[in-house]
Amino acid sequence: MQRWHLTAGLGLVAALAALVAPDLRASTSSPELPVDVPTHQDPVVLDVSPVPIDIGNLHVTAGLDHPAVLDGQTVERLMVITIAADDVEGESARPVNVSVVMDRSGSMGERGKMTHAKAAARELVEALDADDHFSFITFSDRAQVRVPMSQVLDGSSLIRSIDAVSEGGGTNLYEGLSVGLSQLSGVASDSAVNRVIVLSDGKANVGVTSLSQLSSLASRDNDGGVRVSTIGLGLDYNEDLLAEMADRGGGTYRFVSDADTLAGVFREELHQMSTVAASGVSVDVDLEGTELIDVYGYDEQVIDDGFRIWIGDVYGGQTRKVVARVRMRATGVGTEHLAGVVQVSESAGALQPIDVTASVENNRLVVEKTVNRELAILGNEAEAGDLAQQAASAYQNGDRKKSVDLLDASSLVAGMAASRYSSPRLEDRAAALEEQNVQYEAFEPETDEGRYNIKMNKEVGRDWAY
């Protein structure tokens, strides 16, 4: 029997929340469970699903996990926004303009990293078409343009330039990214996918090294349609930095523990690039009379009476989500309480605004039974993922007690929601969180196993939150 099964009462959840709440969000109120969440396990009888708003390749839903409130009562709810993209294949696929920016510092000579990195870059070149553009930049103490941005007409010449690279020196990540972005300045267009792929196995230690400046650089050309993806190779790089660069740059972040899997990672990145369904996607939420408690997984930008989330590119067949915990007090039985207005935009335009509402009831049973099961599952998954990321950071910093408390809270969120909403996926999440705790107990964070767990669990938490 799993731990959350043993203690699935609201009292323990509140106690765990009290233990970790001061560190969860410094700028807002501490998170807590809604005061009117039922404590019994009766089956849900009213499954209310929001109607998607469609435009182009995107389908957007927005709603509350429990879209009913008791008259006059202050409650917390999960506001869940989903953005689903149609598959984009064949003639709909866009040409690709890509700059590969590869770390060639001395550590890339270890464990066959450079050999596999060059093989992955060669395979990428071989998969590109004559309509695509490619450039290849390496960086150590300084950045060097090995292949200037050009059409992929002579693949053998490009491959020879890749094969000539050798490792040595430090890690000037800032200069490498800056040069990679500059290579796209002459070819970037709205009709193509414009991407910088950064591969590094170490911490930035030459030139500009601060997270804020590097992530700001990654977002520099967002308005020009250029996105930045990052790949962290091995166990020595700063995963928080590379993830933040990808988030700000609107691309993807990937953790690769074994260099021999790099070719597959490059293939997947190219496939996603060629099937971008919507570019430059952002989400604005106007909270009218509703208090924001937390946004899970994202660094939100405060705007007017709400917040904005930058997503970047959405790929064919992909679904992204934004989950926020909000607090509201509704009055007026029989009315609809407006919790917020959601506006999703992309570079080509904006979707119709979506009102997120809750019905105001005077019957507690109706309130408890009114649920959007799909959004509730997604919302609890995001909350569990956010807590799991924080647990990994606490473990990394040597705070075992805090990491255990956070993982316990995360496991309880996933486990209780799995039970209430009959979700095998959340059941699996709860089991995975239990295993994380086992691994944290078994290894110190400074060991290879510990560093692997940190990077893997942060990436898993991101996936759950996004």
160 and 260 share one domain: yes
% helix, strand, coil for the chain, step of 5: 40, 30, 30
Contact (CB, 8 A) for 377 and 425: yes
CATH code for the domain of 328? 2.60.40.3670
Question: Under 8 Å CB-to-CB from 418, ≥6 apart: which residues?
Answer: 424, 425, 426, 427, 429, 430
116 and 259 share one domain: yes
Q: Quick check: is 238 in a domain?
A: yes
Identify the band that residue 46 occupies on the pLDDT scale cut at 50, 70 and 90.
Answer: low
| Mean pLDDT of the 325-346 span | 92
248 and 394 share one domain: no
Q: Quick check: is 42 in a domain?
A: no
Identify the band that residue 411 occupies on the pLDDT scale cut at 50, 70 and 90.
Answer: very high
Contact (CB, 8 A) for 41 and 420: yes
Is residue 323 pLDDT above 90, yes or no? yes
Distance CA 200, CA 192 (A): 26
Helix residue spans in 112-221 (DSSP H): 113-127, 155-163, 173-184, 211-218
Identify the band that residue 25 occupies on the pLDDT scale cut at 50, 70 and 90.
Answer: very low
205 and 237 share one domain: yes
pLDDT at 459 (0 to 100): 95
Average pLDDT of the chain is: 87
163 and 219 share one domain: yes
228 is in which domain, residue-wise? 94-274
pLDDT at 389 (0 to 100): 97
138 and 228 share one domain: yes
Identify the band that residue 392 occupies on the pLDDT scale cut at 50, 70 and 90.
Answer: very high
pLDDT in tens, 189-206: 888 899 999 999 989 999
29 and 174 share one domain: no
246 and 106 share one domain: yes
Question: Taking the model in full, what pTM does it have?
Answer: 0.87
Dihedral angle over CA of 269, 272, 274, 279, nearest 10 = -120
The helix or strand, by DSSP H or E, that contains position 383, with its residue range, turns out to be helix 373-396
118 and 244 share one domain: yes
The three-state secondary structure class of 197 is strand
Contact (CB, 8 A) for 177 and 228: yes
213 and 193 share one domain: yes
Q: Quick check: is 44 in a domain?
A: no
Domain count, the chain: 3
pLDDT at 54 (0 to 100): 82
pLDDT at 321 (0 to 100): 97
pLDDT exceeding 90 applies to what percent of the chain?
A: 73
377 and 428 share one domain: yes
pLDDT in tens, 421-443: 999 999 999 999 999 999 999 99
Q: Quick check: is 43 in a domain?
A: no
Contact (CB, 8 A) for 457 and 385: no
pLDDT exceeding 70 applies to what percent of the chain?
A: 89
The three-state secondary structure class of 335 is coil
Distance CA 268, CA 123 (A): 12
Q: Quick check: is 344 in a domain?
A: yes
Identify the band that residue 3 occupies on the pLDDT scale cut at 50, 70 and 90.
Answer: very low
Q: Quick check: is 139 in a domain?
A: yes
Identify the band that residue 155 occupies on the pLDDT scale cut at 50, 70 and 90.
Answer: confident
pLDDT in tens, 354-365: 999 999 999 999
160 and 196 share one domain: yes
Better-scored residue on pLDDT, 254 or 55: 254
pLDDT in tens, 74-112: 999 999 999 999 887 655 678 899 999 999 999 998 888
How many other CB atoms are found less than 10 A from the CB of residue 51?
8
Contact (CB, 8 A) for 117 and 130: no
Least confident of 151-155, 216-220, 324-328: 151-155
CATH code for the domain of 157? 3.40.50.410
